[in-house]
Amino acid sequence: MQPDLTTRVLSDPKYHELKQKRTRFGLWLTLAMLVVYYGFILLVAFDKPFLATPIAGGVTTIGMPLGLGVIVFTIVITAIYVRRANGEYDELSEQIAQGALK
């Protein structure tokens, strides 16, 4: 990339907005994923009886919906990021590119 193109993008406030917003959003979601997964693992490590508690008098335990919940959460949180990045952030990124390449 030509140096002046970089300078032009760097002087665009929208670029800094994009960078800050998207990085922050990504890091928050990363944190959420870490908390959910390692929360689950720590629960398995330290409170097995809780996960093995039956729900509503049947044999199905709390652990089952919780474990499947982690799988669903993983997919949903990915979808949330992709939706926002492919919509809002890509629009911003498009504007920056147009501004810089003019």
Partner 1 sequence: MSRSLLRAVLAGAAALAVVELARAAGADLGQAEKQPTNWTAIGMFAAFVVGTLFITKWAARRTKSAADFYTAGGGITGFQNGLAIAGDYMSAASFLGISAAVMVGGFDGLIYSIGFLVGWPIVTFLLAERLRNLGKFTFADVAAFRFDQTPMRVFAASGTLVVVAFYLIAQMVGAGQLIKLLFGLEYWIAVVIVGALMMVYVLFGGMTATTWVQIIKAGLLLAGATFMALMVLWNFGFSPEAMFAKAVEVKTGLARAGGMTPEKAVQQGVSIMGPGGFIKDPISAISFGMALMFGTAGLPHILMRFFTVPNAKQARKSVLWATTWIGYFYVLTFIIGFGAITFVLTDPQFLDVKGALLGGGNMAAVHLAKAVGGNVFLGFISAVAFATILAVVAGLTLSGASAVSHDIYATVLKKGRADSASELKVSRVTTVVLGFIAVLLGIAFEKQNIAFMVSLAFAIAASANFPVLLMSVLWKDCTTKGAVIGGFLGLISSVALTIVSPAVWEATLGNPKGSALFPYASPALFSMAIGFIGIWLFSVLDRSRRAAEDRSGFAAQQVRSETGIGAATAAAH
Q: Applying CB under 8 A, which residues contact partner 1?
A: 1, 3, 5-6, 9-10, 15, 18-19, 22, 26-27, 29-30, 33, 37-38, 40-42, 44-46, 48-49, 51-52, 54, 58-61, 63-64, 67-68, 70-72, 74-75, 77-79, 81-82, 85-86, 90, 93, 96-97, 100-101
Tokens describing residue 10: 């760097």
How many CB atoms are located within 10 Å of the residue 55 CB?
12
Q: How far is the CB of 44 from partner 1 (least distance, A)?
A: 5
Give the nearer residue to partner 1 in terms of CB position, either 13 or 41.
41
Q: How far is the CB of 13 from partner 1 (least distance, A)?
A: 14
Backbone φ and ψ for 54, nearest 5 degrees, come out as -70, 150
Q: At a CB cut-off of 8 Å and minimum separation 6, what does 6 contact? A: none
Q: Which is nearer to partner 1, 1 or 13 (CB)?
A: 1
Cβ 96 vs Cβ 12: under 8 Å: yes
